[in-house]
């Protein structure tokens, strides 16, 4: 039986890696729904190759253009536009599995809809769970679906736990250990980071990523968001989650047990491994990834994360401990600060300062529903812009 897969964010790095795995297994998986934000050209090209039942452009103003281009390309499929079309697609019968890879807060409502609909949810949108972890867990319980993380670190933890997402106390888990590459500025002092430019921050030593996530990697905020994600995914308190810097990026994360055992998941840094695992779980399938050659990989090194220099990681832990919607406030303030840095109006080190100001200004409130959360997200963004205007403009 072929599994029908909706790929949200089909033109991004996770989306294209997912489609590559699907292409390796045409008898097993089919890309039935493809969703892109604004990239009409790229979406049309994917539709020509994968022939989905439905193509959606999230920017509603581009719906007519997408329809016209698909007709010109002789692609026969239904066309949708706007966020409501995405939500309807993930809630309906066209897909069994949803790969949630829309970047940022824009992916929240479609992720929740897929969870409520009982889909097999492959989560690559960390902002959804960072913003609305309690709501996502409630939606999963309501829909009875399965969530499998696609972020390499969380997929590694999933693989190292018995049954994927057990009760950690009953499983004898002492702590979850997330690995971090350290980003492009590993080992530098705060004094050396004062004049960092956007191009320098986006020059990751190992991966080519979007500019926003590249900056988050450089500040270690990306790892902070992953700490929050691990808390909700696996039910681990903040004190049972640790971060270690591992520059080789071959150990993707580890789980330490009460008996002293530490289980690690290793592999070449290629997202197709985690995607293939999540698509086929509990089975294993070929992912098209080069096997890891340990004798030729060289020594593996580990070092503590420098939270004094990279304050964003410490702030993420603080927001997690504060509870309520503090993690959503953190995420919103960070998005505004990173945009300002990329625009050249905010120094690199001031990203953490903006986030810290907003967290102090907006004490956490309970997470009640999506509408309240979206409103608080807007309040946090406005507070961040005021901090920028007051201190850096």
Q: Tell me the binding residues.
A: 11-14, 38, 125-127, 151-153, 181, 204, 210, 217, 222-223, 226
pTM, full prediction:
0.93
Q: Which two tokens stand for residue 11?
A: 């033109």
Instruction: Report d(CA 95, CA 323) in Å as an integer.
Output: 34
pLDDT per position as a tens digit, 179-192: 999 989 999 999 99
CB 129 within 8 A of CB 148: no
pLDDT per position as a tens digit, 150-159: 999 999 999 9
**Spatial CA neighbour of 161 closest among 224, 237, 236:** 236
Instruction: Report d(CA 286, CA 78) in Å as an integer.
Output: 31
340 phi/psi in degrees, rounded to 5? -65, -40
| Separation in Å, CA 10 to CA 78, 167, 208, 222, 345 | 16, 33, 17, 21, 31
Q: Tell whether the model's pLDDT for residue 18 goes beyond 90.
A: yes
55 phi/psi in degrees, rounded to 5? -120, 135
pLDDT per position as a tens digit, 320-368: 999 999 999 999 999 999 999 999 999 999 999 999 999 999 999 999 9
Q: Tell me the binding residues for NADPH.
A: 11-14, 38, 125, 127, 210
Q: What angle do CA 52, 57, 62 make, to 5 degrees?
A: 130
Going from the N-terminus, what domains does the chain have, and what CATH number goes with each?
3-149 (3.40.50.720), 151-307 (no CATH), 323-392 (1.10.1740.10)
Q: Tell me the binding residues for 1-deoxy-D-xylulose 5-phosphate.
A: 126, 152-153, 181, 204, 217, 222-223, 226
Looking up tokens 């695992």 gives 277
CB 52 within 8 A of CB 75: no
Bridge-based pairing state of the strands 3-8 and 262-266: unpaired
Q: pLDDT band at 208, cuts 50/70/90?
A: low
Q: Tell me the binding residues for Mn(2+).
A: 151, 153, 226
Instruction: Report d(CA 10, CA 29) in Å as an integer.
Output: 15
Instruction: Report d(CA 60, CA 247) in Å as an integer.
Output: 42
């Amino acid at each position: 039986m072929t599994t029908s897969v909706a790929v949200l964010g089909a033109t991004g790095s996770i989306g294209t890696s997912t489609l590559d795995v699907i292409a390796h297994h045409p008898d097993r998986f089919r890309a039935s729904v493809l969703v892109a934000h604004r990239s009409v050209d790229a979406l049309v090209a994917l539709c020509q190759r994968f022939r989905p039942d439905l193509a959606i452009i999230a920017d509603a103003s581009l719906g007519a253009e997408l329809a016209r281009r698909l007709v010109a390309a002789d692609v026969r499929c239904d066309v949708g536009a706007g966020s409501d079309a995405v939500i309807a697609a993930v809630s309906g019968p066209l897909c069994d599995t949803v790969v949630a890879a829309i970047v940022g807060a824009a992916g929240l409502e479609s992720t929740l809809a897929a969870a409520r609909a009982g889909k097999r949810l492959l989560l690559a949108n960390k902002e959804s769970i960072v913003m609305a972890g309690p709501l996502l867990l409630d939606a999963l319980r309501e829909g009875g679906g399965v969530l499998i993380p696609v972020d390499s670190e969380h997929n590694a933890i999933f693989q190292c736990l018995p049954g994927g997402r057990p009760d950690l106390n009953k499983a004898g888990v002492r702590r979850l250990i997330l690995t971090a590459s350290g980003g492009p500025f590993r080992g530098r002092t705060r004094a050396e980071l004062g004049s960092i430019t956007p191009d320098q921050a986006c020059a990751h030593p190992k991966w080519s990523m979007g500019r926003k996530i590249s900056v988050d990697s450089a500040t270690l905020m990306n790892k902070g968001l992953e700490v929050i994600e691990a808390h909700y995914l696996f039910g681990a308190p903040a004190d049972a989650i640790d971060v270690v810097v591992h520059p080789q990026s071959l150990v993707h994360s580890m789980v330490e047990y009460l008996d002293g055992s530490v289980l690690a998941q290793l592999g070449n840094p290629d997202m197709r491994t985690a995607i293939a695992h999540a698509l086929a779980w509990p089975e294993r399938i070929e992912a098209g990834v080069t096997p890891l050659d340990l004798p030729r990989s060289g020594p593996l090194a580990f070092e503590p994360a420098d939270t004094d220099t990279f304050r964003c990681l410490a702030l993420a832990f603080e927001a997690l401990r504060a509870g309520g919607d503090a993690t959503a406030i953190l995420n919103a303030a960070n998005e505004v600060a990173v945009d300002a840095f990329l625009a050249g109006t905010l120094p690199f080190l001031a990203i953490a300062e903006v986030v810290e100001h907003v967290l102090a200004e907006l004490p956490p409130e309970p997470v009640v529903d999506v509408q309240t959360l979206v409103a608080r997200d807007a309040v946090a963004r406005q507070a961040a812009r005021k901090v920028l205007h007051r201190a850096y403009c």
